[in-house]
Amino acid sequence: MLSLASFTTLLAASATLVSARPVELSKRINQIISASTAQWEQACLAAGGGQRCNPLSVAAFSTLLAAPGPCAQQDAADNMIDLALQLNNNAEMIRLTQIFRQQPRNAPDSLSVLYCQNAPRNQQLQGLFQCQFQGVNDNVFTGNVALGQPGTRPLGVNNLNPLGSCPANPNGKIPDGVQLVTLVNSPGTGAGNGAANPAPAPPASSSAAAPAPTANPPANNNNNNNNNNNAGGGNATGFQAQNARDAQALNQQFASLTVGSACTVGQVACLSDGSFAQCPFGTFVATPCAGGTQCMALPLVNSV
């Protein structure tokens, strides 16, 4: 049975594409989803979360894809808060989870993403909801639901002004494809009172999180892994070298996986056709990547 390497992140690479139609232009709005939880995963490891960190991180960033339901992102954030509370109420993990909860989701149809209408389990997430990307239509939501219909306003909010904003970024929407965690330090005033005065964000540095790679066209996996392993310089640390080998080993295992392959519930992988796969019921279910890109295991370059 396939197992995930603790320090290896699956990247569902995405590109921003524009497709011409007879009358209108439809912009496909995507992001490097793995970047949304990279800092959280490092904070989790630093707090002693060990092998519990990576599976939660991968499960969380997968909810930023278009397919999951309106509450999937909040449910994942609740799981992240649960672990933070177990790790001595880790304030940094809580802060980063609150920001992740507000990260915009992919909008391949250029429509606004519906809001969750269920309350979170944890008070640290109360009043939080996702921002929208700047390129989405403010007046039409996923499924062609018109503004004003159920799900088009955050839970408990009667009049969101400006449209597409969120507590962490109350002045408006987020530039397409950008990670909210790179723009703000504070999760905003919507956060619950249980955050225990989260510590301020650390200064930006090359070791704070893995750099957001550009979309990769289908290519030889070994070459991509070697390029990423050498991104930090010619002399990779033992951690980086081992992480690169782990990524290569995963890609070799992925080469034999297809839709319907047996798996452990909650597992994620890349399939032999380049699709991103999740295991909800014991066999893999595929989610296609954006055109011209593919899913692969890439090594992190974070310092530890």
Mean pLDDT per 10-residue section of the chain, whose length is 304 residues: 47 40 60 96 97 95 94 97 97 98 96 97 97 97 95 95 97 97 92 40 39 40 43 52 80 89 82 82 76 73 42
User: In angstroms, rounded to a whole number, what is the distance separating the alpha carbons of residues 300 and 10?
Assistant: 10
The pLDDT, as a whole number, for residue 287 is 78
pTM over 0.85, yes/no: no
Residues ≥6 apart with Cβ < 8 Å to 106: 14, 29, 30, 31, 33, 64, 65, 66
The pLDDT, as a whole number, for residue 303 is 39
| CA nearest to 35, candidates 12, 4, 55, 15 | 12
The pLDDT, as a whole number, for residue 291 is 62
The pLDDT, as a whole number, for residue 232 is 40
